[in-house]
Amino acid sequence: MRPAAPHRLLLSSLCLALCCLGGARGSRRSDNHEWKKLIMVHHWPVTVCKEVENDCRDPPDYWTIHGLWPDKAEECNGSWHFHLEEIKDLMPEMKMYWPDVIHPLNHSHFWKHEWEKHGTCAAQLDALNSQKKYFGGSLDLYRDLNLNSMLQKLGIKPSINYYQVSDIKDALASIYGVIPKIQCLPPQQGEEVQTIGQIELCFTKELRLRNCTEPGEPGGPGGPAPRGPRTGVSGGTGLEVCEDGPAFYPPPPGALP
């Protein structure tokens, strides 16, 4: 029976090699979940409705939360499922400031998507490492940024007149001290200009404001403007980094005489 020993040794060596290979693969997968900054994404409900070609009923007339997104990671833990009861204490604020604009009677599907795609990655931070911390922390950042009031203070209001994208970016940079990123819908057939849809403000892992783009980066000062679709809420895919030039900041339906 002794000749069986070399076979056992060979089998053990093979198992060790496979384990090492599996570990190497696992480490490569974890690399895909590393990220450097968090993006607080505000979207303008009127443009959300236009983006998905949905005739929304009474969309909010203020900027709402699209999400809090790590910049280079998605779906970091497929087994960490969304449970609505974990954020029940946040429900009034969630419905007000983080609504599903397209499906106002069923917000939870939108929140589930945001948690499973982005929250499970943001949870690498102790400050955001539970569903209540992720959604509660996002609401805190939204309140602290106070984008709606800042735009009003800067005199940037929905209007039938066009704004220069660079003027909006410069005005926001003067308030926050960092460079934001603005997303637009490109002009559709028969339209003259792009339509403002999202404003992004970015944070470090220490939750301090930082530039969303740096000089030379796509979309940053001196860098090319990236083109191509960005996934929006409820299936919208038309948003792109705004081009320098005029842009339409559309008023809510019925807001103008």
Residue range 179-199, pLDDT digits in tens: 999 999 999 888 999 999 999
pTM: 0.81
> Taking the C-alpha atoms of 80, 81, 84 and 89 in order, what is their torsion angle to the nearest 10 degrees?
10
- Residue of 43, 51, 66, 200 with catalytic role: 66
pLDDT for 215 equals 65
Strands (E), the chain: 38-43, 64-70, 163-164, 181-185, 194-203, 209-210, 240-241, 246-248
Cα–Cα distance between 76 and 121 in angstroms, integer?
5
The pLDDT tens digits of the residues spanning 4-51 come to: 444 444 434 434 443 433 433 333 334 467 899 999 999 999 999 988
Query: Which of these is catalytic: 43, 118, 200, 240?
Result: 118
Whether 239 contacts 215, CB under 8 Å = no
Q: Give catalytic status of residue 114 as yes or no.
A: yes
Query: What is the mean pLDDT of the segment spanning 74-79?
Result: 91
Lowest mean pLDDT segment, chosen from 30-39, 67-76, 99-108: 30-39
| Amino acid, res. 102 | I
Q: Known catalytic residue: 42?
A: no
Is residue 66 annotated as part of the catalytic site, yes or no? yes
Quick one: average pLDDT of 100-117?
92
| Residues 41 and 68 sit within 8 Å (Cβ to Cβ) | yes
Per-residue confidence (pLDDT) for residue 237, from 0 to 100: 52
How much is the average pLDDT of 46-67?
Answer: 89
The confidence score (pLDDT) of residue 24 equals 37
Percent of residues, the chain, with pLDDT higher than 90: 65
27 vs 53, which has greater pLDDT?
53
Q: Give DSSP secondary structure letters for 14-33.
A: HHHHHHHHHHHHHHHHHHTT
Scored b (16 or more CB within 10 A) or e, 163-198 reads: bebeebbebbeeebebbbbbbbbeeeeeeebbbbbb
From 42, 43, 51, 114, active-site residue: 114
Nearest to 97 by CA among 80, 113, 110: 110
Q: Report residue 246's pLDDT band, with 50, 70 and 90 as the boundaries.
A: very high
Assign 67 to helix, strand or coil: strand
